[in-house]
């Protein structure tokens, strides 16, 4: 049995790669790994996907039979809430049944060790070895399963990472929240209401098919309903979270989508103005506006490979103000070393309350000071021939031209980034969870972004056809 962990856990198509028996084999391997490192306590939960609740319950009782003290979530639970529970209770780790933003036919497992952040390569490699070897812990006595409410303590503690007084002083905050039929429903909206906001919830009931969304990621393509609802209702802003509520999506008062790099730049500016200090950490695919804002505020910037395990490691090391990535994940350095879409939605709402002004208007002012960058991503489905071409002609070679532009430098921190000039680059990397090549582009012109992305995609597709 071959199990491979990607940047955020192991995922697969249900009944093809992701089966009940394989999920239990991974749970057994995690249990062995925890015992190797001296831990016998764990939190278990899952999102709203097909079989996630049933798998979580079965896993909890399975681990209890191995002598573990298991804390099982009483309901579908966001990934950041489980991370918080692990840290707050001092547990050995977390098993979380979720495939995050992957299509509905997927499910998966995220494992987090004692610190509550994504497992590093040492842990995941060992788990892969244990699965391959079929290792199972010895049965034991003294194990237990406790069904608990993880959400109430999380919502109480989240006040330490926002400013509730800013909300209470605001005249009126009207938020539309798209819960993506996921675990964030009843969490983000509950906190906003507690803080005095009027909230309209879209897709608030569990639906493993994500209301027909084929790729349930809170990006521009999937937020048209949210945008329309904000405009129709005259709301202050719209926020969204994906199925396990670790990723965020935001639209402004005019229903316009705000990219994660733009929002994080706005957030860093707000936090710095409010007196907060620390390093700003971003993945290599995240745009340059964040750097400009941070540097203008006298803040150091650190760039990492893609994957929140790298950003989480920076948070654990200390001294971080904000860590974030282009795909809609962020956290604060004093919070958890894991993406938190709930916190992101609350902070976006807080900014609106603080300034008494919409995010769209605030962004216009930020762009006037620091310039505007467009950051886009194209996800290109891969077949084996196309993947081989990309590996041989991009990853293993030094391109001098791409998309009709001369390449000035190449960065291989993660994937291959071709730098054309100070403001313009393209980065290609292979997804660790799906058969996709992700093409990221930055420039100062949205049309140029599309042209560059399509030119690379056409090159990859064309050579695939020729090879066939």
- Tokens 């071709």 correspond to 418
b/e code 173-190 from CB counts within 10 Å (16+ = b): bbbbbbbbbbbbbebbbb
Q: Quickly list DSSP for 99-145.
A: -TTS-TTEEEEEEEETTSSPP-HHHHHHHHHHHHHT--PPP-SS-EE
Whether pLDDT at 141 is above 90? no
CATH code: domain 10-149 is 3.40.120.10
Average pLDDT of the segment spanning 18-44? 97
Average pLDDT over residues 8-28: 95
On the question of pLDDT at 1 being above 70, the answer is: no
pLDDT for res 154: 98
Strand 93-97 relative to strand 41-46, pairing: parallel
Average pLDDT for 44-65:
97
Give the separation between CA 90 and CA 21, rounded to whole angstroms. Answer: 29
pLDDT band at 432 (very low <50, low <70, confident <90, very high): confident
432 three-class SS:
coil
Are domains 10-149 and 161-370 of this chain identical in fold? yes
Assigned CATH for 161-370: 3.40.120.10
Instruction: Give 251-293 pLDDT, tens digit per residue.
Output: 999 999 999 999 999 999 999 999 999 999 999 999 899 999 9
Angle at the Cα of 399 (from 398 to 400), degrees rounded to 5?
A: 115
Of 128-142, 221-235, 240-254, which gets the smallest average pLDDT? 128-142
* Res 465 pLDDT > 70: no
pLDDT cut 70: percent of the chain above it: 99
Per-residue pLDDT at 52: 98
How confident is the model at residue 139, as a pLDDT? 84
Q: What is the mean pLDDT of residues 218-229?
A: 96
| Residue 464: predicted pLDDT | 57
**What's the chain's average pLDDT?**
95
Contact 345, 241 (CB under 8 A): yes
Q: Look-up: residue for tokens 């935001």?
A: 250
**Do 464 and 385 touch, CB atoms closer than 8 A?**
yes
Sheet holding 329-332, edge to edge: 301-304, 279-283, 320-325, 329-332
CATH class of the domain defined by 374-467: alpha beta
Structural contact between residues 410 and 417, judged by C-beta atoms closer than 8 angstroms: yes
**Per-residue confidence band for 447, with pLDDT thresholds at 50, 70 and 90:** very high
pLDDT at 96 over 50: yes
pLDDT at 439: 96
- Domain assignments of the chain as residue spans, ordered by start: 10-149, 161-370, 374-467
Q: Which one-letter DSSP state was computed for residue 271?
A: H
Distance CA 6, CA 415 (A): 14
Average the pLDDT over 162-179 and give the result: 95
Q: CA dist 235 to 203, 208, 258, 342, 415, Å?
A: 17, 28, 15, 18, 40
Place 211 in a pLDDT band, splitting at 50, 70 and 90.
Answer: very high
Q: Compute the distance between CA of residue 389 and CA of residue 462 in angstroms, rounded to an integer.
A: 10
Q: Which residues pair with 147 in a beta bridge?
A: 72
- Please answer whether residues 218 and 181 qualify as being in contact, where contact means their C-beta atoms are separated by less than 8 angstroms: no
Q: How confident is the model at residue 88 (pLDDT cuts 50, 70, 90)?
A: very high
Q: In what order do the strands lie in the sheet with 436-443?
A: 374-381, 436-443, 424-430, 416-421, 409-411
pLDDT at 7 over 80: no
What pLDDT is stored for residue 215 in this prediction? 87
């Amino acid at each position: 049995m071959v199990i491979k962990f990607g940047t955020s856990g192991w995922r697969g198509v249900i009944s093809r790669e992701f089966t009940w028996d394989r999920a239990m084999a991974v749970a057994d391997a995690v249990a062995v790994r925890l015992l190797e490192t001296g831990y016998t306590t764990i939190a278990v939960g899952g999102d709203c996907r097909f079989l996630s609740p049933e798998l979580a319950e079965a896993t909890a009782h399975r681990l209890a039979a191995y002598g573990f003290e298991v804390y099982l979530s009483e309901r579908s639970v966001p990934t950041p809430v489980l991370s918080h529970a692990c840290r707050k209770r001092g547990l050995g780790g977390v098993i979380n049944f979720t495939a995050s933003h992957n299509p509905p036919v997927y499910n998966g497992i995220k494992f987090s060790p004692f610190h509550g952040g994504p497992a590093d390569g040492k842990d995941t490699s060992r788990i892969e070895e244990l699965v391959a070897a079929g290792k199972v812990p010895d049965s034991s006595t003294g194990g237990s399963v406790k069904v608990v409410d993880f959400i109430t303590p999380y919502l109480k503690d989240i006040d330490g990472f926002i400013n509730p007084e800013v909300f209470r002083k605001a005249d009126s905050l009207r938020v539309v929240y798209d819960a993506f039929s996921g675990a964030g429903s009843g969490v983000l909206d509950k906190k906003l209401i507690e803080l005095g906001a009027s909230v309209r919830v879209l897709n608030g009931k569990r639906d493993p098919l994500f209301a027909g969304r084929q790729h349930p990621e809170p990006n521009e393509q999937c937020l048209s309903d949210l945008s329309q609802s904000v405009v129709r209702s005259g709301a202050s802003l719209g926020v969204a979270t994906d199925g396990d509520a670790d990723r965020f999506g935001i639209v402004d008062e005019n229903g316009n989508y705000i990219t994660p790099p733009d929002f994080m730049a706005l957030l860093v500016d707000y936090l710095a103005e409010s007196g907060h200090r620390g390093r700003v950490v971003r993945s290599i695919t995240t745009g340059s506006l964040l750097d400009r804002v941070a540097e203008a505020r006298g803040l150091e910037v650190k760039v990492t490979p893609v994957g929140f395990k790298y950003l989480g490691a920076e948070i654990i090391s200390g001294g971080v103000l904000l860590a974030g990535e282009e795909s809609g994940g962020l956290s604060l350095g004093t919070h958890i070393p894991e993406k938190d879409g709930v916190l992101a939605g609350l902070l976006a709402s807080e900014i609106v309350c603080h300034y008494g002004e919409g995010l769209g208007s605030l962004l216009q002012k930020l762009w006037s000071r620091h310039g505007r960058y467009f950051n886009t991503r194209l996800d290109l489905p891969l077949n084996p021939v196309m993947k081989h071409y990309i590996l041989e002609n991009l990853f293993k070679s030094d391109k001098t031209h791409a998309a009709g532009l001369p390449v000035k430098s190449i960065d291989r921190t993660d994937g291959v980034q071709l730098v054309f000039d100070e403001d313009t680059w393209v980065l290609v990397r292979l997804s660790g969870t799906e058969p996709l090549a992700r093409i990221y582009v930055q420039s100062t012109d949205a049309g140029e972004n599309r042209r560059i992305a399509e030119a690379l995609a056409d090159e990859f597709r064309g050579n695939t056809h020729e090879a066939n």
